[in-house]
Structure 1
């Protein structure tokens, strides 16, 4: 019986059949894919060409006629700029002083919200009017100035077209001779003392203070790098020198008053020794005032020990009043030590305009009580304010004096 010795010949028909089936399946799949793509294209075309049917109308209520909103006139808007009357008044008064126009609080009257200045003299000549307008416009863009007819008699200064200040100039007639009534003596000048604390650290600040045409009182710290030199410079410039005496504050030890300070835990002997040492370190000192000391100045026993030394050396004391409970002034008077009390702190806020307002407050107090004492520090803002307001502090009815002129003995 013959046999086929080549097995590959027997398997070949099976392999060929498998290939044919695979080709048929691929061909069918390709046909089906083409059919699906064509059907999708036809459906898309039909959908695009279908006429759009409007939805059924829904009955709605007729809308009311549109009424245009009324127009708001420009003058009805609230201006963003706020009037700082104190700052406006300060600029005006500074310009008057610069122009040589003297006045006092008796010449200023508030009538129906408008300040009226009754000024003895004519409106300053030259560029004064234009300079005033330019200065005011820098801080108050809505300001306007209007002179009366004939010009020079009245100047109205308005904000947002509302009068704020009216300057009434009253020049004397040419034939009128200003003679004081017989037997009437001009009243005494109001006196102001300005004590500058914390000196001895920066000689440049001290030199700036000494260059001012103001009789300032210099309070020098006893343990600073330039203590002795600062006291010598102030004395040679003719300024009164105090020892700025470090004393314990309520916030001690968080706030340290410095080396050699007077503290509550010290006995009277140590307090007297420390006070004597302070005055030995500050040459030419004629008195003292407290540096900090909000706690120590409430301590009667300690202040009595301080004043024992000061009385023996003929020194006086100025209470800075860093605490409302201070007994320093009363204890000084009981000990027979000449004393005074601070009225105004000028630079609690280190801002030039704020310091200028405090200077004006000091002037008001001085005119009311005939004297006032202010205390400040050698901050850059304080130096700038004092330099700018020096002319204001030299008015005819004012006098800046050493603090020793205002003591109670």
Structure 2
């Protein structure tokens, strides 16, 4: 009977401790939750601090898109192109041109029509023509350079016509010097000279030396018209220290405006490529028409026109 009396006392003691245990468990759980939250907060902060800024991720930005007229298309290659620094393009040489108008001196109208183009052409006058002195004077007054167009013996002479006052291989040195002296008197403002015809005369070293000596004595330059590929004029002049140059393009062998236009374009292209070029033409109506149309255009495109004397060396 004593045992049965003691059991109610043990159940009473166990029931009385239960609220305290519950509180302890709840407190432990709350503490654990708080510790877990604090750990999560700390971990998140460290992760955020270690994350690089957004701007640093753009190390491989794509270049801005360009249109086809802004870029140069290259052949396909799987290799990465080598980076090269960008440099400003050097200006392209515009080209310098001198145009000599041969056979001048027949009349003043030709000279005035050419002057109206307002480009520094060079007039080469044949001594003995009726208006040589007048053209020489007018050109000098208006600032145009003048040359003497020396009539020289061509191949095929006498069947090939030549002015009566021309110089021939058969003439003595004294006769040639006399004729040259008359040329200088008729064209007193001449800055230089070039050969009219002369495909035979300009191949003769001794006779050409005689002519070049007369030019050198008067400080005149020489332009070899190159009427023959075997001319010694230019090389001999250089060896004698006479300022000289050679003709590059004949402009009007064909008397047709489109043909002359094509020759002018060739002259301009050569000048752009080499820096300078000399063209020779004649005062034909079609030539003057072509020059009047195209020289102002070429000038706007960058071609620099100068007197022939500016291109000798």
Q: Unpaired runs of 5+ in structure 2?
A: 1-66, 71-86
Identify the structure with the greater strand proportion: 1
Q: How does 1:314-333 map to 2 (within 5 A)?
A: 314-333=219-238
The reply on whether 1:405 has 2:310 as its aligned counterpart is yes
Once the two structures are TM-superposed, the CA of residue 188 in structure 1 deviates from its matched residue by 5.0
3-state SS of 1:391 partner? helix
The structure with the larger Rg is: 2
The reply on whether 1:336 has 2:241 as its aligned counterpart is yes
Q: Which residue of 2 aligns with 1:346?
A: 251
Which one of 277, 280, 286 corresponds to residue 372 of structure 1? Answer: 277
Output one character per residue of 1:313-360: Cα deviation in whole Å (capped at 9) or x when no partner: 101000000111111111111221111000000000000000000000
Q: Which residue of 1 aligns with 2:54?
A: none
Once the two structures are TM-superposed, the CA of residue 189 in structure 1 deviates from its matched residue by 3.6
3-state SS of 2:162 partner? coil
Once the two structures are TM-superposed, the CA of residue 290 in structure 1 deviates from its matched residue by 0.6
Instruction: Find the aligned partners of 2:293 and 2:301 in 1 and give their Cα distance.
Output: 18
Output one character per residue of 1:89-145: Cα deviation in whole Å (capped at 9) or x when no partner: xxxxxxxxxxxxxxxxxxxxxxxxxxxxxxxxxxxxxxxxxxxxxxxxxxxxxxxxx
Q: Which residue of 2 aligns with 1:221?
A: 126
The reply on whether 1:250 has 2:190 as its aligned counterpart is no
Once the two structures are TM-superposed, the CA of residue 279 in structure 1 deviates from its matched residue by 1.1
Instruction: Find the aligned partners of 2:302 and 2:296 in 1 and give their Cα distance.
Output: 12
Instruction: Find the aligned partners of 1:185 and 1:352 in 2 and give their Cα distance.
Output: 35
Where relative contact order (Cα < 8 A, 6+ residues apart) is larger, the structure is: 2
Identify the structure with the greater helix proportion: 2
Q: Alpha carbon RMSD of aligned pairs, Å?
A: 2.1
The question of whether the paired residues in 2 share the 8 Å contact of 1:213 and 1:390 is answered with: no
The question of whether the paired residues in 2 share the 8 Å contact of 1:242 and 1:286 is answered with: yes
Q: Which residue of 1 aligns with 2:191?
A: 286
Once the two structures are TM-superposed, the CA of residue 273 in structure 1 deviates from its matched residue by 2.0
Output one character per residue of 1:230-258: Cα deviation in whole Å (capped at 9) or x when no partner: 11111111110000110000021112321
Q: How many residues align?
A: 232
Output one character per residue of 1:145-200: Cα deviation in whole Å (capped at 9) or x when no partner: xxxxxxxx9xxxxxxxxxxxxxx89xxxxxxxxxxx78x87455410000000000
TM-score (norm. length: structure 2): 0.70
